């Protein structure tokens, strides 16, 4: 039994941790220059220097903050009150308490009450969705059907592509070959080398700890959701037509690239396409198609959900 166990351990892959050698940002007046150096998966020195304009560095996420249910409730209630004032429900008396947290509907006609409840419920949902969209959040259901509110990583990545566009020519020149795998592996190595910060609970943290892509660069740190979002935004800036997915498992997240699998590439089928998976989190360095054991087991067990980034 001991010999079998030893043989199994020897067969497990040996991962190399990413190592960032240097990071600095330089104020150039109307822009910032970002300078990075790190050791790649082959222990070779890599460097990346790019400049991003100050004007777009944190816009449109300047007001992005932790989701607070009480703010959402206040927003929804205010909009409903405005709606009822502009378009009152006939034959119904609707009152809000002094804190405007609850309303009562009174009418002699049960049908009027039922219709009023239906209208208000529909408006509540509509205004709630609008509030989430304004704040870059959305409702999320994980693989076990647990529900919560999380940052809308897809929209945040989409709205980050333009500000990251200056990295395109620089990275493609470094890679020196327009090959999806080579470009992806370079970006993975870069993001993996950025220091990691632990993920707060995706369903209960209300976005606490999440950094939008430019903030990951600015603070030189990010959790797995933050690094995933940065990676997708960078890859879209580099390869505008490539389709990707964001993949969520318990307490972790990674990406998938619409590319033909090679060898033992770990992949998933989603909406009729094959996506080869990649983990940009670090500090473990992994190329496209490789995942850690726990992440691979989650995929094999179908304990994940995916969101398409078109």
Spell out the domains of the chain, with CATH numbers in brackets. Answer: 2-63+153-309 (3.10.620), 69-134 (no CATH)
Q: What is the pLDDT of residue 25?
A: 96
Q: What is the pLDDT of residue 7?
A: 42
Q: What is the pLDDT of residue 1?
A: 43
Structure tokens at 4: 């079998």
List Cα–Cα distances, 151 to 167, 175, 182, 202, in angstroms.
24, 32, 30, 9
pLDDT tens digits along 204-241: 555 678 999 999 999 999 999 999 999 999 999 999 99
Q: What is the pLDDT of residue 106?
A: 84
* CA count, 13 A, side-chain hemisphere, 81: 15
pTM of the entire predicted model: 0.88
Q: Let me know: does 217 contact 247? Beta carbons within 8 Å.
A: no
Q: What is the pLDDT of residue 9?
A: 42
Structure tokens at 292: 């850690």
The dihedral region occupied by 32, where left means phi > 0, alpha psi between -120 and 50, and beta the remainder, is: beta
pLDDT tens digits along 165-196: 999 999 999 998 779 999 999 999 999 999 99
Q: Let me know: does 280 contact 244? Beta carbons within 8 Å.
A: no
Per-chain mean pLDDT for the chain? 89
Q: What is the pLDDT of residue 101?
A: 60
Q: What is the pLDDT of residue 11?
A: 46
Low-confidence ranges of the chain (pLDDT < 70): 1-16, 97-102, 200-207
Say what percent of the chain tops pLDDT 70.
90
Q: What is the pLDDT of residue 6?
A: 42
137 bridge partner residues: 151
Q: What is the pLDDT of residue 203?
A: 62
Q: Let me know: does 21 contact 45? Beta carbons within 8 Å.
A: yes
């Amino acid at each position: 039994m001991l010999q079998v166990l030893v043989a199994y351990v020897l067969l497990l892959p040996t991962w190399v941790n990413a190592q960032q050698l240097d990071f600095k940002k330089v104020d150039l007046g109307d822009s910032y220059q970002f300078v990075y150096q790190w050791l790649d998966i082959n222990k070779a020195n890599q460097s990346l220097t790019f400049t991003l304009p100050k004007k777009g560095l944190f816009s449109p996420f300047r007001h992005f903050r932790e989701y607070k249910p009480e703010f959402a409730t206040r927003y929804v209630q205010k909009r409903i009150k405005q709606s009822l004032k502009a378009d009152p429900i006939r034959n119904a008396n609707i009152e809000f308490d002094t804190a405007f947290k609850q309303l009562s509907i009174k009418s002699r006609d049960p049908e009027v009450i039922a219709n009023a409840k239906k209208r208000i419920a529909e408006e509540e949902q509509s205004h709630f969705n609008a509030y989430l969209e304004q704040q870059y959040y959305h409702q999320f259901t994980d693989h076990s059907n647990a529900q919560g509110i999380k940052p809308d990583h897809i929209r945040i990545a989409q709205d980050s592509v333009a500000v990251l566009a200056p990295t395109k020519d620089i990275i493609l020149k470094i890679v020196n070959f327009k090959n999806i795998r080579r470009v992806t592996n370079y970006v993975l190595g870069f993001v993996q080398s950025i220091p990691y910060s632990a993920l707060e609970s995706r369903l209960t943290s209300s976005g606490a700890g999440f950094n939008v892509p430019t903030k990951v660069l600015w603070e030189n740190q990010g959790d797995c959701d933050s690094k995933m979002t940065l990676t997708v935004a960078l890859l879209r800036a580099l390869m505008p037509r490539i389709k990707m997915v964001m993949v969520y498992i318990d307490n972790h997240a990674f990406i998938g690239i619409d590319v033909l699998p090679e060898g033992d590439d770990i992949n998933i089928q989603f909406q009729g396409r094959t996506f080869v998976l990649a983990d940009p989190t670090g500090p473990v360095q992994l190329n496209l198609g490789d995942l850690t054991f726990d992440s691979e087991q989650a995929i094999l067990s179908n304990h994940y959900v995916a969101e398409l980034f078109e």
